[in-house]
Amino acid sequence: MQHNTLNYDKDIENLIFRLVSHLNSDYAFSKRSVATMLLQEDEEIWELVKQNDGSNYNEIRAMINEFKKNTSESVLYQISRTQQEESKKILQKVMTVDKNSGSKLAKIVNKLTINPITGIPLLLLVLYYGFYQFVGVFGAGTMVDFIETNIFDEMINPYINQFVNGLIPWKVVSDLFVNDYGIITLGIKYAIAIVLPVVGCFFLMFSIIEDSGYLPRISMLMDRVFKKIGLNGRAVIPMTLGFGCDTMATMVSRTLETKRERVISTFLLALAIPCSAQLGVILALLSGKPMAMAVWLVFMVLIFMLIGYLTSKVIPGEKAGFYMELPPLRMPKLSNVLKKTYVRMYWYFKEVLPLFILASVLIWVGNITGLFEVLVRYTVPVVNMIGLPDKTAEIFLFGFFRRDFGAAGLFDMQSSGVLNGRQLVVAAATLTLFVPCVAQFTMMIKERGWKTALAMCAFIFPFAFAAGYLLNKVLVLWGINLG
Amino acid sequence: MEQKSKNISVNIPLTMLKAGQEAKIVTVKTEDNQKLRKLAAFGIFPGTEIQVIQCYPSIVIQAGFTQIALDSEIASEIIVNLNN
Amino acid sequence: MECCNQKVSMISRIRNLTNRKDAHKVEQNAQKKIALIGNPNVGKSVIFNSLTGAYVTVSNYPGTTVEVSRGRYTYGNSKLEVIDTPGMYSMIPITEEERVTRNLLINERPDLVLHIIDAKNINRMLPLTLQLIEAGFQVVLVLNIMDEAKALGIEINCRELQKILGIPVLEASAALNKGLNEIRKTIEEQIKDAA
Ligand SMILES: Nc1nc2c(ncn2[C@@H]2O[C@H](COP(=O)(O)OP(=O)(O)O)[C@@H](O)[C@H]2O)c(=O)[nH]1
Ligand SMILES: [Mg+2]
């Protein structure tokens, strides 16, 4: 009943006929279609044929090479032309278009978003209100404060501490669950009080923007900037998603076209893109000090561009051109947005909450075995070198378990007034650059392989501290104390 | 379609068009088969009529009911025919 | 259809040869598979969600579905496996997502391919339908996002198209819940014919 409508030029049809007679195995596709793919130099299909019809492989190769020698026009071209023309012919019979339809307003709005003169201010507005105001100020500020102070510190933690300490007389054991580093009072508190509101707000905003069809327009506007760091506009998605969750973004970097881009983006995500949990804490940490915030921001952007630029020079491989469809702008659908936010959060907590708990357990084990103390002792000189007090060593170790975990530790230190503005900025910057969290590292291995993932970490570790060192030196030299 | 205006038609790269101009794609000048396939998937193919929507920071063209953004490198390989 | 039946029986013969011990079991358990194929951003995931009741991310950004999702579609007492794919532009893959999608076609040999297209861009998406038919798949063509196509003044004569291609052609606006029942009905009819 199905009609194959594709008839190629006579010479090609003859060749296909001969090729088909050399294909004896059973492929998922009709042999005719396998033959056309061979003609189009599809490497995977060639590989498949090599495996299944190995004995005829050379003969098939020879037939095709011979054919190509005798035709001037690319075979690929001829084949796809036939496919296009056939499709056109069919459509002439079945489709009509009334040219006068179409909304004028939609056209104007579209132009406003893509024209750089209006598009870039619009983009800045979206970033400012959508991310800074909504995620940063509302999510990481108001909501975190409320949940952390009013709910955990005042209502839940004292009660739970009392309850568990009463229930378990051995402090060593009860420390696992409660008190300073317990699973409930630290692990779960951070997850719910800090991460949940920030990540939730981020994913909500991201889903709205995504659903409207605005993201491809950002890609288009940013393409030139991204080209400077060896990527192209397409990388806007993994990169912006990274501000939500670097692990998820590393997974999504799979959609980039060349291996080179995938490696560069994975690397930059691991190095210079703070995830929303981390960002939330850092924003909260520095929010009272606009100068400190500015220094941190400028420093991170510089590192991102510089390292991106250098990486793009070092990593071999082909540059991918930028081409992208701009889908029509649509009104975001509330149900879709909510569902998507929910699904992303669900994924996030499934991946992340266990790690929070694991981190708490590891810290507990580290503490009772004394291992942690030893490690802290080794880390102290390093943090001192970048101008930070001894106590920050602990935080960097936390940061090894989870990025935001470390940042959250900083938050506690700042509240108790141990750090001055300069130290805060240096610590925040170093921690942002510092290792990816365990989940992200696992994803890096999964997506890019052991070697690449390890090599990236081997760079990031010393680099984070070297950059921190430099930043500290510069700030000291210029006598900038940042309050 | 008909090519009656042959004598005054010129083949130029897409990058030379200004916003608002209309043209017909003549060929895509590249040895890279991947790229050809890629562009064909977006409907960029000899014979397609396009209109340039804007030129900077990326070139945006309208082909049928699709808007496509391209960087100037790819656009410079797309040869179009200005029919008037 | 004869040619298709022949092809499939060939396949099962080979499977039986290689798999003689389990042949019987395979036959019994063989759940029929439907793959949702098409360009990115045409509504595959919306349709997948509606068919299976599962949820995969729907996105207005090409390339957001990076993994294959599977779900179950039940009707009467039959069960089908529905597979949502990251999408492909043509039979020959360029990006990783497209490679994933094509490997799925090669390795899983779906019994039915639902080719979903964006109706307003039919002129550049129809070539893939032709290629899928050429490749011997049993294809159903879904003209989705019909709402936007209509708003642009596009009319498509489904009957005529159906006649030319010899496959079922359906109109739908999946995001507005339109045309989904017809898709279900057609799947149920077609899957019976699939060997
Ligand atoms: N207007 C309209 N939008 C649709 C329709 N179907 C899907 N969409 C939207 O198209 C976008 C892409 O949908 P999705 O299912 O993710 O596409 P996929 O990439 O093919 O899986 C989403 O924003 C959907 O809401 C439709 O019938 N009409
Ligand atoms: Mg999808």
Residue C144 phi/psi, 5-degree rounding, is: -95, 175
Q: What pLDDT shows up at residue C15?
A: 40
Task: Determine the pLDDT at residue C78.
Answer: 86
- The residue count of chain A comes to 483
Instruction: Give the pLDDT band (50/70/90) at residue A148.
Output: confident
Atom 9 of ligand 1, residue of closest alpha carbon = C43
User: Domain check: are A332 and A373 in the same one?
Assistant: yes
Alpha-carbon distance of B24 to C77, in angstroms, equals 54
Q: Is residue A110 part of a domain?
A: no
- Does C20 score more than 50 pLDDT? no
Of A252-256, B22-26, C169-173, the least confident: A252-256
Domain ranges of chain B: 3-82
- Residue A5 falls inside a structural domain: no
Rounded to the nearest angstrom, the minimum Cα separation between C22 and chain B is: 42
Number of domains in chain A: 2
pLDDT in tens, A376-427: 899 899 999 999 988 888 877 776 665 566 666 777 777 777 788 888 899 8
What per-residue confidence (pLDDT) applies to A262?
93
pLDDT for A23 equals 95
- Residue C24: the pLDDT is 41
The residue-averaged pLDDT of A73-102 equals 89
The torsion angle over the Cα atoms of residues A387, A393, A399 and A404, rounded to 10 degrees, is: -70
Distance from the Cα of C159 to chain A's closest Cα (Å) equals: 9
Count Cβ neighbours within 10 Å for each residue of C131-165 and write b for 16 or more, e otherwise.
bbbbbbbbbbbbbbbbbbbbebebebeeeebeebb
CA of C59 to the centre of ligand 1 (A): 7
Distance CA A478, CA A411 (A): 26
B11 touches chain A (CB under 8 A): no
Q: Give the minimum alpha-carbon distance from B29 to chain A in angstroms, rounded to a whole number.
A: 12
**pLDDT-above-90 percentage for chain A:** 46
Tens digit of each residue's pLDDT (9 = 90 or more) over A39-87: 988 899 999 999 999 999 999 999 999 999 988 877 887 898 899 899 9
In our burial notation (b when 16+ CB lie closer than 10 A, e otherwise), range A304-325 reads beebbeebbeeeeeebbbbbbb
Residue type, A31: K
Residue at A71 is within a domain:
yes
Residue linked to tokens 């291992």: A371
Please choose, from the candidates A243, A284, A300, the residue with its C-alpha nearest in 3D space to the C-alpha of residue A430.
A300
C134 reaches A (C-beta below 8 A): yes
Residue C26 pLDDT? 41
* DSSP-derived 3-state class of residue A324: strand
The encoded tokens of residue A18 equal 């001969």
Per the CB < 8 Å rule, is C39 touching B41? yes
Question: Rounded CA gap, A171 and C4, in Å?
Answer: 73
Contact B64/C90, CB-based, under 8 Å? no
Q: Tell me which fold the domain B3-82 belongs to.
A: SH3 type barrels. (2.30.30)
Give the residue numbers in A contacting B (CB under 8 Å), as ranges.
Answer: 40-41, 74, 76-77, 80-81, 84, 110-111, 114-116, 216, 219-221, 223-224, 227, 232-233, 321-326
Q: What is the pLDDT of residues A107-123, one digit of tens each?
A: 899 999 999 999 999 99
A177 and A42 in a common domain: no
Task: Encode pLDDT of C145-181 as tens digits.
Answer: 999 999 999 999 999 999 999 999 999 999 999 999 9
pLDDT of residue A404: 60
Of A164-173, A256-265, C162-171, give the lowest mean pLDDT range: A164-173
Pairs of CB atoms within 8 A across A/B: 76
Write out pLDDT tens, residues C81-120: 999 998 888 898 877 778 889 999 999 999 999 999 999 9
Domain that holds residue A56: 10-94
Instruction: Give the closest-approach CA distance of A33 to chain C in angstroms.
Output: 5
The owner of tokens 């499709």 is A87
Is the Cβ–Cβ distance between A30 and C7 less than 8 Å?
yes
Q: Identify the bridge partners of residue C156 per DSSP, sorted by sequence position.
A: A95
pLDDT band at C65 (very low <50, low <70, confident <90, very high): low
Least confident of B62-66, C58-62, C90-94: C58-62
Distance A257 CA to ligand 2 centre (A): 18
Shared domain for A135 and A68, answered yes or no, is: no
A77 → chain B, closest CA residue: B36
Protein residue whose Cα sits closest to atom 19 of ligand 1: C41
Give the residues across from C115 on adjacent strands. Answer: C37, C141
Q: In this structure, are A303 and A437 located in the same domain?
A: yes
- Identify the pLDDT of residue A300: 94
Give burial (CB, 10 Å; 0-12/13-18/19+) of A98.
Answer: exposed
Whether A102 is in a domain gets the answer: no
Domain identity same for A17 and A133: no
Q: Is C179 in the pocket of ligand 1 (CB under 6 A)?
A: no
Q: Answer with the residue of higher pLDDT: A15 or A139.
A: A15
In this structure, the answer to whether residues A74 and A185 fall within a common structural domain is no
Residues A255 and A362 reside in one and the same domain: yes
Q: What angle do CA B56, A307, A298 make, to 5 degrees?
A: 75
Residues of C in contact with B68 (CB under 8 A): none
Q: Which residue has the tokens 């039915």?
A: C112
Of A231, A229, A250, A230, which is closest to residue A241 (Cα–Cα)? A250
Greater confidence (C6 vs A317) lies with A317
CA of A237 to the centre of ligand 2 (A): 15
Return the SS3 of B61.
strand
Residues A90, A204, single domain; the answer is: no
How high is the mean pLDDT of chain A? 88
pLDDT digits (tens, 9 = 90+) for A308-353: 999 999 998 888 889 998 999 999 999 889 988 988 888 888 877 7
Cα separation, A448 vs A266, in Å, equals: 8
pLDDT of residue C165: 97
Ligand 1 pocket member C44 (CB < 6 A): yes
Residues A124 and A32 in one domain: no
Count CB atoms within 10 A of the CB of residue A123.
17
Query: Do residue A53 and residue A130 come from a single domain?
Result: no
From residue C105, alpha-carbon distances to A41, A447, C2, C68, C136 in Å are 19, 22, 21, 12, 11
- Whether chain A has a CB inside 8 Å of the CB on C11: the answer is yes
Q: Say if A65 falls within a structural domain.
A: yes
User: Same structural domain for residues A168 and A313?
Assistant: yes
Shared-domain flag, residues A90 and A187: no
